[in-house]
């Protein structure tokens, strides 16, 4: 690995053509500036002389990926065009059983972070195995993460029983509690992959450490039908009855929820990770995000894992798809306008994951997590509305600079804390061993 080259940006002022603040007034400042000191934003306003010139660019909050399985980057393209059940049971669970090691998780995390940083993601919410190693790699790279230790009913690479995984989660949450970049979490995979007592204990551990609980919820019609048949209530109602929603909760997908379920989620103040690419690719359904908005449920955007449910970590793509999916599913072209999509990737996403006091907007007192998006390409010209441009025209590859906690992690598209060549070479090595494991 390269040595960490990013330097603390103390008393650093940045000028850009536009500053998209995502503050309460949603101010967009033409020829604006942001000043950073000791990892925090100290001022946002008009252009200042003598500042670092980012030029023809949008300076905005870093993007928030509200649902990932980062090390699965090494499984990218292993199995596509399948139902969720077939994808999991016939390909992914077997592939994980044959390939997952601590080193696999470290390199997969590095590959995922490299892609996310180069596409403007500064914070991600993850659910996977060996989560302490993912946290270590995230610290080294300088990213921010809510990182959840997975709990699941069958033997997996890091723990052979849910009880062992829960014991580990308790220690893991204690180890990283209070870390400036890492928010440790406990992540029971789903209602249908855990026993009730496991779910209750996961909630108790999360609450003990004042930490989040991450869970897949109502992702497929099959999940809804199976749980209704077995329990005579919906997945959301079941989790509520078990007390699993009594605390800081981030629920991924939440597609098959009715009005009563939405009322429960609102009452429990759950955050939702909406994953449009994944939900479309697996034909899982369309989450009722417009109803969620009306009830005040905070909804962020997630990519899911890049191995069949989605093959990349591109939040620009998710903004675009979230808006268009809402429009076509309601036959209303005014549904989920561009500004709302940007909110979901920034301040609304921060609310959904419970970090809106720290990140999600460019305001004095918040942490200096920000990105610069270039506007000097043909597809970025002309400019009439910054939100429209961000959602419908600009691409992840337009991200030029990335800062987290006041430190540059990417400058002029060059990653400063990750060795891109080594990561790509290692991914090619793993491709051979993974492919061999799938035919044996």
Q: What is the CATH number of the domain that holds 255?
A: 3.20.20.140
Is 319:391 a contact under the CB 8 Å cutoff? yes
Rounded-to-10 torsion of CA 152, 157, 161, 167 = -90
Same domain assignment for residues 158 and 31: no
Q: How far apart, in Å, are the Cα atoms of 209 and each of 171, 235, 329, 391?
A: 10, 25, 40, 37
What is the spatial distance between Cα 105 and Cα 99, in angstroms, rounded to a whole number? 10
| Main-chain dihedrals φ then ψ at residue 359, nearest 5 degrees | -140, 180
Same domain assignment for residues 182 and 299: yes
pLDDT at 56: 97
Same domain assignment for residues 74 and 220: yes
Q: Is 82 part of any domain?
A: yes
Q: Is 422 part of any domain?
A: no
Q: Look up tokens 């204990």; give the residue.
A: 201
pLDDT at 10: 46
Same domain assignment for residues 94 and 123: yes
User: Other CB atoms closer than 10 Å to residue 125's CB: what's the count?
Assistant: 30
- Quote the distance between the C-alpha of residue 372 and its chain's center: 19
The rounded mean pLDDT for the chain is 95
Model confidence band, residue 1 (pLDDT cutoffs 50, 70, 90): very low
pTM of the model: 0.95
Q: Is 278 part of any domain?
A: yes
Same domain assignment for residues 287 and 393: no
Give the residue, 8 or 191, on which the prediction is more confident.
191
Peptide bond into 382 cis (omega under 30): yes
Same domain assignment for residues 305 and 349: yes
Is 313:71 a contact under the CB 8 Å cutoff? no
pLDDT at 339: 98
What is the spatial distance between Cα 198 and Cα 130, in angstroms, rounded to a whole number? 18
State the residue range of the domain holding 39.
12-61+373-413
Same domain assignment for residues 92 and 32: no
Same domain assignment for residues 222 and 295: yes
Q: Is 403 part of any domain?
A: yes
Q: Is 353 helix (H, G, I), strand (E, B) or coil?
A: helix
Dihedral (CA of 259, 260, 264, 265) sign: negative
Contact partners, residue 178, CB within 8 Å, separation at least 6 = none
What is the spatial distance between Cα 222 and Cα 244, in angstroms, rounded to a whole number? 21
pLDDT at 440: 59
Same domain assignment for residues 52 and 109: no
Q: Is 4 part of any domain?
A: no
Q: Report the candidate in 128, 138, 226 with the shortest Cα–Cα distance to residue 180.
A: 138
* Structural domain total, the chain: 2
pLDDT digits (tens, 9 = 90+) for 316-368: 999 999 999 999 999 999 999 999 999 999 999 999 999 999 999 999 999 99
Same domain assignment for residues 21 and 127: no
- Say whether pLDDT at 87 is over 90: no
Same domain assignment for residues 34 and 73: no
Same domain assignment for residues 307 and 221: yes
User: Other CB atoms closer than 10 Å to residue 82's CB: what's the count?
Assistant: 18
pLDDT digits (tens, 9 = 90+) for 2-34: 433 343 434 899 999 999 999 999 999 999 999
pLDDT digits (tens, 9 = 90+) for 118-169: 999 999 999 999 999 999 999 999 999 999 999 999 999 999 999 999 999 9
pLDDT at 89: 81
Segment 157-161 long-range contacts (CB within 8 Å, at least 24 positions apart): 157/96, 157/97, 157/100, 157/101, 157/129, 157/130, 158/100, 158/129, 158/130, 159/129
Contact partners, residue 198, CB within 8 Å, separation at least 6 = 151, 153, 162, 163, 166, 188
- CATH number of residue 389's parent domain: 2.30.40.10
């Amino acid at each position: 690995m390269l040595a960490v080259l990013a330097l603390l940006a103390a008393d650093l002022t940045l000028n850009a053509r536009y500053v998209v603040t995502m503050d309460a007034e949603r101010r967009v400042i033409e020829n604006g500036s942001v000043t950073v000191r000791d990892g925090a934003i100290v001022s946002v306003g008009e252009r200042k002389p003598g500042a670092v010139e980012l030029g023809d660019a949008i300076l905005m909050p870093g993007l928030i990926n509200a649902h990932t399985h980062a090390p699965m980057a090494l499984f990218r393209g292993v199995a596509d065009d399948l139902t969720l059940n077939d994808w999991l049971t016939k390909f992914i669970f077997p592939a994980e059983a044959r390939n997952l090691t601590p080193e696999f998780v470290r390199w997969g995390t590095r590959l995922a972070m490299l892609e996310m940083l180069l596409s403007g993601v500064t914070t991600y919410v993850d659910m996977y195995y060996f989560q302490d190693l993912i946290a270590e790699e995230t610290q080294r790279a300088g990213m921010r993460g809510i990182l959840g230790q997975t709990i699941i009913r069958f033997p997996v690479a890091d723990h052979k029983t849910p009880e062992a995984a829960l014991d580990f989660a308790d220690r893991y949450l204690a180890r990283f509690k209070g870390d400036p970049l890492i928010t440790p979490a406990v992540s029971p995979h789903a209602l249908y992959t855990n026993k009730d007592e496991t779910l209750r204990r996961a909630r108790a551990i999360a609450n003990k450490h004042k930490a989040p609980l991450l869970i897949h919820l109502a992702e497929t019609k099959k999940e809804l039908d199976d749980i209704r048949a077995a329990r005579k209530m919906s997945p959301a109602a079941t989790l509520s009855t078990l007390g699993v929603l009594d605390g800081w909760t981030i629920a991924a997908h939440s597609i098959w929820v009715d009005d009563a379920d939405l009322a429960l989620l609102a009452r429990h103040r759950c955050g939702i990770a909406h994953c449009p690419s994944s939900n479309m690719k697996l034909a899982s359904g369309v989450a009722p995000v417009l109803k969620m908005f009306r009830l005040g449920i905070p909804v962020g955007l997630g990519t899911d894992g890049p191995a069949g449910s989605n093959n990349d970590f591109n939040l620009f793509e998710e903004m675009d798809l979230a808006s268009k999916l809402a429009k076509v599913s309601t036959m209303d072209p005014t549904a989920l306008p561009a500004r709302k999509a940007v909110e979901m990737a920034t301040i609304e996403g921060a609310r959904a994951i419970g970090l809106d006091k720290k990140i999600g907007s460019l305001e004095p007192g918040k942490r200096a997590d920000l990105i610069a998006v270039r506007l000097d390409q043909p597809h970025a010209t002309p400019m009439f509305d910054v939100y429209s441009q961000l959602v419908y025209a600009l691409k992840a590859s337009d991200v030029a600079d990335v800062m987290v906690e006041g430190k540059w992690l990417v400058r002029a598209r060059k990653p400063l804390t990750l060795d891109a060549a080594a990561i790509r070479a290692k991914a090619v090595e793993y491709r051979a061993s993974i492919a061999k494991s799938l035919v044996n």
